[in-house]
Structure 1
């Protein structure tokens, strides 16, 4: 499991390794990327890489976790958020992912590689759980099971919409996110 450093120089090396992995993932794909190539690209020795990561999949999991953290920081846990604000937040998810080293490829990797799926799932479960609590604060009489199901669907739907933007180049990002926001608002309207 990835060992996150605490000292400034080690943090810089760790981040450089993740950035190199993201760039190589975009260039080569999951199958061809290797720890030796990542170490070379980052300008460190393979033993240095292994001070932080146990293997290629540990490195890629840390890369995915870092993207998920950046995306999750954009989530507004306000069930009353209007569609325009929600759509703007989803567009920001696209922008952050594009700015992230290999971002679209990291998202694809987290869905396609069985060893890495738990990174995405854990992130989505966490955001959905927080959303459920926000829904229950807003209306304590809500059925928790329904709120949990709808919150999880809302999170998955938002993530899938961001993926769609990258899978279908040239699509109208704003229109996709407006439609997605409308659907998420519908999912979170839990009135009987």
Structure 2
């Protein structure tokens, strides 16, 4: 990604190699995640991060050029944590259930794991909102979802040899988008019934797969 709003750089300026630098780098990210959760992205500033973390601005700017670069790093890490769970699930046969009940149980298990990881991540629920609010950073989400959808397609292609490729690819992209949308509902709106949302979206796709047989 080349830049943020109006060409603002999004890449970290330097990756720390020593323990002290790594501590500072991680403190910036953890503090920014907490502040995203507490005050939202619009109120997040590099000066506010420094004040809360007990850092000087030069210490922060050694690694991050601006708050957008901090958000990008947080987004990269959160989506990597989510995607790693999904890929491991796929590689373990997560989409290979032969019955509705098997597919439902498998899907529900991975949903609950992703929700748990997202909730445990500093500022997890707020990071998704912030990424959607910054147009340039939306590409992070799209790239992640495209990659997972491609892995979904590869995992089910041999199970449904009679399904047209175009339809199966669209279906896998829909599955990924609806799955992550449901997860965002659960973590971003805690007053909703998380268990019901997880179960309904998993049941939807468990039955949907029958249409490809």
Do both proteins adopt the same fold according to a TM-score greater than 0.5, normalized to the shorter chain?
A: yes
TM-score after normalising by structure 1? 0.87
Structure 1: unaligned runs, 5 residues or longer = none
Query: Is the CA contact 1:84–1:178 (under 8 Å) kept in the aligned structure 2?
Result: no
Query: Is the CA contact 2:152–2:172 (under 8 Å) kept in the aligned structure 1?
Result: yes
Q: How many matched pairs?
A: 192
Q: Which moved more, 1:160-169 or 1:61-70?
A: 160-169
Q: RMSD over aligned Cα, in angstroms?
A: 2.2
Partner of 1:2: 12
Partner of 1:24: 35
Counterpart CA distance in 2 for 1:132 and 1:158 is 15
Query: Is the CA contact 2:33–2:74 (under 8 Å) kept in the aligned structure 1?
Result: yes
Counterpart CA distance in 2 for 1:39 and 1:61 is 18
Q: For residue 115 of structure 1, report the CA deviation from its aligned partner.
A: 2.7
Larger radius of gyration: 2
Counterpart CA distance in 2 for 1:14 and 1:47 is 12
Counterpart CA distance in 2 for 1:19 and 1:50 is 16
Counterpart CA distance in 2 for 1:35 and 1:187 is 46
Q: Which moved more, 1:79-88 or 1:21-30?
A: 79-88
Query: Is the CA contact 1:90–1:162 (under 8 Å) kept in the aligned structure 2?
Result: yes
Counterpart CA distance in 2 for 1:29 and 1:21 is 10
- Aligned pair 1:42/2:63, yes or no? no
Partner of 1:133: 154
SS at match of 1:107: helix
- 1:141-179 deviations in Å (ceiling 9; x for gaps): 643322221111111111111121234433332221111
Q: Which moved more, 1:154-163 or 1:51-60?
A: 51-60
- Aligned pair 1:80/2:96, yes or no? yes
SS at match of 1:127: helix
Query: Is the CA contact 1:128–1:151 (under 8 Å) kept in the aligned structure 2?
Result: yes
Displacement over 6 Å in runs of 4+: none
TM-score after normalising by structure 2? 0.79
